[in-house]
A and B are shown apart, each in its own frame.
Chain A
Amino acid sequence: MSAGRIAMALFIGFLAVAPFALSEFYVTLMNYIGLATLVTLGLVLLTGVAGLMSFGQQVFVGFGAYATGVLTVQYGASPWLGLGAGLAFTAVAALGLGLITVRLSGHYLPISTIAWGIAFYFAFGNLELLGRYDGLQGIPAISLFGWNVESGRDAYALIWVATLAALLAAQNLLDSRSGRAIRTLRFRATMAESFGIDTAQMKLIVFLYAALLAALSGWLYAHFLHFVSPGAFNVNIGIEYLFMAVVGGASQVWGAVIGASLLTLLKEWLKDILPRLFAQSGNYEAIVFGLLMLPLLHRARDGLMPLFARLGRGGRNAPAPRPRAGPALPRRAVPAAGEPLLVLAGVQKNFGGLAAVRALSFEMRGGEILGLIGPNGAGKSTAFNLVTGVLPADAGEVHYRGARIDALPARRIARLGIARTFQHVNLIGGMSVLENVAIGAHLRGAKGTLAAMLRLDRDEERRLLHEAASQVERVGLSAHLGDPSASLALGQQRLVEIARALAADPVLLLLDEPAAGLRLQEKRALAALLRGLRAEGTSILLVEHDMDFVMGLVDRLVVMDFGEKIAEGLPREIQANPLVIEAYLGGIE
């Protein structure tokens, strides 16, 4: 049993005993902690994992609370109808706001959430239907199969069951196909798109989940307090939720519990002690909160959770067990050798006044390894980005197996069986080698977020991980399966990139300097691997500087210089071509 599991068991044990051992006051406090944890958990996924930020979660809490408040108080409806209405209303609002912000750069969402926090605070306070600033009173208790959730201890049970369920669902989610996709959003969105992940859609899903958790918290809050008023949903509350996520450690699910507990308790304690110290009322706890955040952000930006986690396992990752074998994933049919595969016709890309790629045309056939070489700055990587849709071409056409692809976004091109590696290693450093490679197999799975939360994806997950593990083995890194990718040497990280591309089951593989940083033995192994792939029918477009490596491997070469193709042909023709020699060695006076 790992330290993490022991800690979790202790925590759940504490939760089970707490209502019998603690006084009414502390049970109430625990209820507030549970309610805050729900909201904070959403922010952990949103901010820490997906790199989106919201200061407006209190608005969704307000939707959840007011929806049920209005329906139960004004219309005498059941609290369960209130829950449904609150979640539905929140979903629509969150989707609307999400749709207009996920495509914009990161700072628009937090600014918008502050603005909408203010807008809704004043709306809550002025709408007759919502009881204006007085709020709604006499919200009934929830009843569940004859159990009336009346007392603080009853509410405790409901709140913590909901909170634990949400925590487990979130943990399950992160450890799944969708979870890996979500974990790419913050640092590696370009890479994710290149493996078919619709990053905007993933962001929207996370945003929606966070909003729904907040609405659930609001529903519980309203029926636990029997009262709602705008004061509970002002802008400062939204800021405090975010502080909780930061304190706990914004990238870890259980950090939500730690952050929510610490700040709720601290606030209670400060409210008790500070006015006595200063003999005058004021919002002193806000000053203290702010002052505590600064050193935390300066010194421990990942929050307190990693410290707890390190205590637990002594700073060492347990090696990941090799996933069990299952039925292998289906594979794509490869085109016949010699069939036209990729055709570039007059492709052009300008960066400002610089033509990085100029009227580039070449053709690639099924089952061949084509080398794309040229001096630094010749435009090779830009050409890669144009083929894979990472950059849009300014002019010209790219055809793949007869279909035009230059107008397609990267994730659509990935669906066609084109996979790539990146010149600058594009792995997620904190994720294990296995998980990084499994991202490559994203399109070979189909299970979504909900299935992941409910663990209905285990069968498919096993097949994906098994596929990923076999690709890791293929590039010779089986010993590092469970290591964080950042702990590997640079050359090995390039091999992980190749394994990830292979996990996508590509028809066309684009490798950007795969041999850079490899030792001689490793280069030979890589060359053997690429020959093996060619024998299986995979076509490879290769950018590389190591001429020994290239000349012994490729079928044909295209040479670029200053964005233009200057030569094309068999390796021995290229080696004798005076234009190529001049490009590499400089002109002979």
Chain B
Amino acid sequence: MNSDIFLWLVQDGVVNGAIYALLALALLLVFTVTRVIFVPQGELISFAALSLALLEAGRVPGTIYILVFGGLAAAAIEVVVAWRERAAARLPRIALLYVALPLAVALLVAWAAPRRFDQWIQVLLVLAMVVPLGPIVYRIAYQPLASASVLVLFIVSMAVHYVLGGLSLVFFGGEGLRSSAFSDAKFRLGVVEVTAQSLWVVAASLVLIVALWLLFERSIYGKALRATAMNRVGARLVGIPTVLTGQLSFLLAALIGAVSGVLVSPITTVYYDTGFLIGLKGFVGAILGGMASYPLAALGALVLGLLESFASFWASAYKETIVFTLIVPVLVWLSLRSRHIEEEEEKE
């Protein structure tokens, strides 16, 4: 291997690692606030990447059907709950959030798709389609089980992953798609040739990470999320509604998933199930951070990206095998470090 290849692999690894870091942070956020292992994050990545590619081709992505029908399902649940609690005053809000908004987005996309607007408009359309799916999924699948154990919530995640993965195949088919780069520019940075595309990815990841940090440190919503993550019961006692923190964290996770999908779309061919693998790499990154520390998770994700990049050079057929067995040494380390048996006893 010469130094050119080495540096190119490093660059590739950093780009992928930045995306994994972003995902690791989102997954960690959802886990600490809601105790949900948000596996379906992967499907949101696929949705975003494939939707962008389809919009570019002037076609209407099937994501709008998932959005509209998901919204209707969530609305139906809300109406039933409102009916039981005799709270008719909630109906206009339900109709607006879960019916009118998804429908408006769907119509807008259907109108805009054949017109092939600029790429940045298409990106905004993708975000508008995918981000609301976070709170919708939370409402349908997780909110009724907010107090269930981590393991039950994990099964729920797998069920949601199954549904969204199946829908992904139905609406996007089995073929892979790739969207065009945000920019074709290349420039030399010392001895390495850097594509503007990879700078885009790294910059966008950094901006989002900083934005998340600001949100957590400065805003009242971020503080509510942090409070819930530290002590759920205490947070409820001081009047932070768990439904709000749950929806908020899923909204953020969906935003990060959608952005990751958009970033990934031009650098790799995305199939209906690619997002699942990408999302899981985010989890591996989070595990490298011990499922607790944000900076460690980001660092772990970066290491993962680099490892993947070099693995694909040396043994491309075993790339995934190598990447996913990386968690074994980490688990050994975590296990040796934990002196006391960690446990969270479930409630009967």
Contact = CB atoms under 8 A, between A and B. Distances in A.
Contacts, number: 170
Contact of B159 (A105, A111, A294): A294
Nearest to A110: B154
A324 interface: no
Interface in B312-348: 317-325, 327-328, 331-332, 334-335, 338, 340-348
Interface residues on B, range: 35 or more
Interface string A264-281: 000000000000001010
A103 B338 contact: yes
A246 B327 contact: no
B190 interface: no
Given A104-B331, A283-B166, A430-B348, A294 B140 contact: yes
Interface in A287-310: 287, 289-291, 293-294, 297-298, 301
Contact of B341 (A111, A200, A486): A200
Contact of B160 (A120, A278, A280, A290): A290
Interface residue SS majority, chain B: helix
Contacts of B343: 105-106, 189-190, 199
B151 interface: yes
Given A290-B161, A293-B159, A123 B318 contact: yes
B233 interface: no
A275 B343 CA distance: 45
Contacts of B144: 298
Contacts of A464: none
Contacts of B277: 118
A524 interface: no
A430 B165 CA distance: 37
A115 B163 CA distance: 20
A126 B158 contact: no
A51 B165 CA distance: 27
A126 B318 contact: yes
Contacts of B161: 239, 290
Contacts of A103: 335, 338, 341-342
A123 to B, nearest CB: 5
B162 interface: yes
Interface in A96-115: 97, 99-101, 103-108, 110-112, 114-115
B151 A294 contact: no
B141 interface: yes
B70 to A, nearest CB: 12
Contact of B346 (A51, A290, A392): A51
Interface residues on A, range: 35 or more
B335 A101 contact: yes
A301 B152 contact: yes
B320 A107 contact: no
B255 interface: no
A118 B320 contact: yes
B341 A189 contact: yes
Contacts of B148: 297, 301
B343 to A, nearest CB: 5
A55 B158 contact: yes
B155 interface: yes
Interface of A: 47, 51, 53, 55, 97, 99-101, 103-108, 110-112, 114-116, 118-120, 122-123, 126, 186-190, 193, 199-200, 236, 239, 242-243, 246, 278, 280, 282-287, 289-291, 293-294, 297-298, 301, 392, 428-430, 486
Interface of B: 31, 37, 39, 140-141, 144-145, 148-152, 154-156, 158-167, 169-170, 277, 280, 283-284, 287, 291, 317-325, 327-328, 331-332, 334-335, 338, 340-348
14 contacts: A104-B331, A107-B37, A107-B151, A114-B39, A115-B284, A116-B325, A120-B321, A239-B158, A242-B155, A282-B170, A297-B145, A301-B148, A301-B152, A429-B348
Please name the 7 residue pairs, one residue from A and one from B, whose CB atoms are nearest each other, closest first: A290-B162, A290-B163, A287-B166, A293-B159, A286-B166, A119-B324, A126-B317
